[in-house]
Structure 1
Amino acid sequence: MEFADVVRRRRMVRNYTTEPVDPGVVDQILQHALHAPSAGFSQGWAFLRLDTPEQIHVFWDAATPPGAGVDSWSEGLRRAPVVIVPMSCKRAYLDRYAAPDKGWTDRDESRWPVPYWDIDTGMAALLMLLTVVDEGLGACFFGVPPERIPAFRDAFGVPEDYTPIGAITIGHRAPDRRSPSLKRGRRGLDDVVHHGHWNSLPNLREAR
C-alpha cells in the first residue's frame, strides 16, 4: 500500500470480528514501533503485548471501573484479539540526560519543555497504528483511566516507573457506526497552518 493511502485510511476502529491476528504481523507492528524518534535516543518505552483471551479478559477487568460492565462503547473493542499497551519511562530520559555526553547531572525535570517520554512513546504508538493499516487491519488507541492504572500495574506486574499512555486494540475490522466525533470533520490546512507568522492565515486565504 502506498504511504499516502495508509495515512488517508487511518482511523480509529471500534468494532472487530473474532478472527485471530497472525502473530507474525503483531511482531512486525511492534518492530516498526522501535523506529520512532526519541530524545537522546533514550528509547524510554515498553510495550505490553496481550494476545490470548485470558490476557485480554484480565486487561479489560483491570482497565475498567468495577461494575461498569460491557457498554456500547467497549463492546466492539473487547472483541479485538490483540491489545498492546505502550508505556513511557521518565526515569530512562532523566538517566540518559545525566550521562556525560548530555551533562544534566541535576536531573531537573524543569529542563524539559514537554514530557518527551510521553511524546516519544506516542510517536511509537502512531507507527503501530500506521503499520496496522498497511497490514489491512484495524486499530484503536484509547486511554486507560488514571484511577485504574494501579490495578493495571498489579494485574500485569508493571513497574511503578512505567506509565501506560493508553492502549491499542488490533484486529480485523467489522462494520461499525461512525463515531459522532467524525461529524465535526477534519480541519483544513487553512485552519491550522500559519505561514511565517500567526497572523498570516487570513492573508493566505485571500491570496488563494
Structure 2
Amino acid sequence: MELREVVRRRRMVRRYADRPVDPALVDRALEHASRAPSAGFTQAVEFLVLDEREQVARFWDVTADAGAESSWLRGMRSAPVVVVPLTSREAYLDRYAEADKGWTDRDPGRWPVPFWYVDAGMASLLVLQTAVDEGLGACFFGIPPGRVAALREAFGVPGDRLPVGAITLGHRLEDAGPAGSPSRRPRRPWQDLVHRGRWRR
C-alpha cells in the first residue's frame, strides 16, 4: 500500500472480527516500531505482547474498571492481540549521563519534554501504520493510572518500565466509516494547522 494511503486510512478501530491474527504480522509491526526515532539511540521502548486468549482476557480483567461494561469495552475486548508499549525514564537519564552526552547529574529537568514518552509515541504510531498496511485494524488507548500496578503484577512488568498506553490489533469488521469523536467532529483542514513564519489566529 502506498504510504499516503496508509496515512489516509489510519484511524482507531474499536471492534474486531472473530479471527486470529497471523503472528508474523504482529512481528512485522513490532520490527517496524523498533525503527522509530530514539533520543541518544537509547532504545528503551519495549513491548509487552499479549496474543493468547487467556492473556488478553487477563489484561482486560486488570485494567478495566469493574462493572464499567460499555459498548466501547465490549468492542475492544474482541481484539485478539493487545500490545503494551513501555518506556524507561531511567534508561534515558543513564544514557545522557554517558561521556558523549555529558549530563552527569541525570536531572530530568534538563529535558525540554520527556523524550522517553515521545519516542514511545512514535514507536506506537509505527505499529498503527503497519496494521493499516497489513489490512488490520488497531487502536491506541490509555491505561487508567489506578490500574497500572495491577498490570505490572499480572504480567511481571518491572517497576522502572512505564506503560504509555496499549494497542489493540485485529481484523477490522466491515468498514462502516469513522466512529467515536471523528463521527461527531469534522477534521480540521491541514492548512489551518500550519503557521508559516509567524503564528496567526
- The Cα of 1:45 is off from its aligned counterpart by 1.0
> What is the one-letter code of the residue matched to 1:128?
V
* Partner in structure 2 of residue 196 of structure 1: 197
Aligned pairs (5 A) from 1:26-105: 26-68=26-68, 70-105=69-104
> What is the one-letter code of the residue matched to 1:21?
V
Bigger shift: residues 131-140 or 57-66: 57-66
Does the residue aligned with 1:40 lie in a helix, a strand or coil?
Answer: helix
* Partner in structure 1 of residue 117 of structure 2: 118
Q: How many residues align?
A: 199
Bigger shift: residues 59-68 or 111-120: 59-68
* Partner in structure 2 of residue 131 of structure 1: 130
Bigger shift: residues 118-127 or 180-189: 180-189
- Once the two structures are superposed, residues 122-143 of structure 1 have per-residue CA deviations (whole angstroms, 9 ceiling, x without a partner) of 1000000000000000000000
- The Cα of 1:185 is off from its aligned counterpart by 1.5
* Partner in structure 2 of residue 142 of structure 1: 141
Runs of 4+ in 1 over 4 A off after TM superposition: none
Q: Normalized against structure 2, the TM-score is what?
A: 0.96
- The Cα of 1:177 is off from its aligned counterpart by 7.2
Aligned pairs (5 A) from 1:144-183: 144-175=143-174, 178-182=178-182, 183=184
- Give the conservation status (yes or no) of the 8 Å contact 2:42–2:91: yes
- Give the conservation status (yes or no) of the 8 Å contact 2:48–2:85: yes
> What is the one-letter code of the residue matched to 2:20?
P
* Partner in structure 1 of residue 21 of structure 2: 21
- The Cα of 1:88 is off from its aligned counterpart by 1.1
Does the residue aligned with 1:73 lie in a helix, a strand or coil?
Answer: helix
* Partner in structure 2 of residue 186 of structure 1: 187
User: What CA distance in whole angstroms lies between the structure 1 residues aligned with 2:22 and 2:146?
Assistant: 33
- The Cα of 1:60 is off from its aligned counterpart by 0.2
User: What CA distance in whole angstroms lies between the structure 2 residues aligned with 1:64 and 1:180?
Assistant: 19
User: What CA distance in whole angstroms lies between the structure 2 residues aligned with 1:99 and 1:178?
Assistant: 46
User: What CA distance in whole angstroms lies between the structure 2 residues aligned with 1:2 and 1:117?
Assistant: 30
Rate the CA distance shift 1:89–1:128 in 2: closer, same or farther, 3 A.
same
> What is the one-letter code of the residue matched to 2:78?
R
Does the residue aligned with 2:30 lie in a helix, a strand or coil?
Answer: helix
User: What CA distance in whole angstroms lies between the structure 2 residues aligned with 1:178 and 1:27?
Assistant: 27
- Once the two structures are superposed, residues 143-192 of structure 1 have per-residue CA deviations (whole angstroms, 9 ceiling, x without a partner) of 00000000010100101111111100000011467424112111112321
Structure 2 stretches of 5 or more lacking a match? none
User: What CA distance in whole angstroms lies between the structure 2 residues aligned with 1:67 and 1:81?
Assistant: 22
- Give the conservation status (yes or no) of the 8 Å contact 2:11–2:178: no
User: What CA distance in whole angstroms lies between the structure 2 residues aligned with 1:115 and 1:31?
Assistant: 23
Q: Normalized against structure 1, the TM-score is what?
A: 0.92
The higher radius of gyration belongs to 1
